Amino acid sequence: MRTEDLVTMLAKGAGVVQPNQAARRYAAAIAWGASGAALLMVILLRPRPDLAAAMLLPMFWVKIAFVTSFAAASLLAALRLSRPGLSLAWVPGALFAPLLAIWLLATIVLARADAAQRAGLFFGDTWNSCPFLIALLSAPMFVAVVWAMKGLAPTRLRLAGTAAGLLSGAVGTMVYSLHCPEMAAPFIAFWYLLGMLIPTAVGALLGPRLLRW
């Protein structure tokens, strides 16, 4: 086949391309992924019964702020890695900032607590289920983000898969935090992060195979 013929064929009737397709695909992915996670949470776990009361406590909002800013940074990473030729630029910094903030807070809380309380602040009552439930709730978002990425053109597949995992983990955690009774910063700084890292590892592992085009 002559390249010129291919060019003519591709150009013929190529039509109009809608702008902002990346943003639109991700908006749809987040809507589906977050509703899927919310549905799973309501059916399997239920929101914490004292949610209304908890929402009056500052620590509840610290927790929400941590997961939300982490989710926003991983969304930026996923958006950039979904399109050819865009570097990550300052996005890794935006990912580490909320992590550093919660680690700092956790350190302060642990340092100020009595030695006898520290284990309780770290393990809470739910450490042994929290990471797995977060991974479970992130599953719908994982599928949705991979769908969004496959409709775009990631060129660094392992990194893109990692970002997809991170974003789904963060969205799963946002939904999970409406169920989770834990409020201590040391718990959140470790177990929430561990939960988000499960889909992240899956994404890094499967990225090259799932996202190839």
Partner 1 sequence: MQRMQETGRLNAGEERLRNLLLLGLAGDEPAYHAFLQELSAHLRAFLRKRLARLPDEVEDLVQESLLAIHNQRHTYDAGQPLTAWIHAIAKYKLVDLLRRRARRDLLTDPLDDESAFSSASDTEAADARRDLGKLLEQLPERQRLPIVHMKLEGLSVTQTARLTGMSESAVKVGVHRGLKALAAIVRGDA
Task: Report the interface residues with partner 1, using CB under 8 A.
Answer: 1-19, 21-22, 82-86, 152-153, 155, 212-213
For the bound state, the minimum distance from the C-beta of residue 150 to partner 1, rounded and expressed in Å, comes to 11
In sequence order, which residues have a C-beta less than 8 Å from that of residue 66 and are 6 or more positions away?
98, 101, 102, 188, 192
For the bound state, the minimum distance from the C-beta of residue 208 to partner 1, rounded and expressed in Å, comes to 10
For the bound state, the minimum distance from the C-beta of residue 37 to partner 1, rounded and expressed in Å, comes to 27
Kindly tell me which of 124 and 154 has the beta carbon lying closer to partner 1.
154
For the bound state, the minimum distance from the C-beta of residue 155 to partner 1, rounded and expressed in Å, comes to 4
Kindly tell me which of 47 and 151 has the beta carbon lying closer to partner 1.
151
For the bound state, the minimum distance from the C-beta of residue 144 to partner 1, rounded and expressed in Å, comes to 18
73-78 contacts, C-beta under 8 A, 24 or more apart: 73/97, 73/98, 74/163, 74/166, 74/167, 74/169, 74/170, 75/26, 75/30, 75/167, 77/163, 77/166, 77/167, 78/26, 78/145, 78/148, 78/149, 78/160, 78/163, 78/164, 78/166, 78/167
Kindly tell me which of 86 and 100 has the beta carbon lying closer to partner 1.
86
Kindly tell me which of 105 and 160 has the beta carbon lying closer to partner 1.
160
- Can you read off the two tokens belonging to residue 125? 């009552």
Kindly tell me which of 12 and 112 has the beta carbon lying closer to partner 1.
12
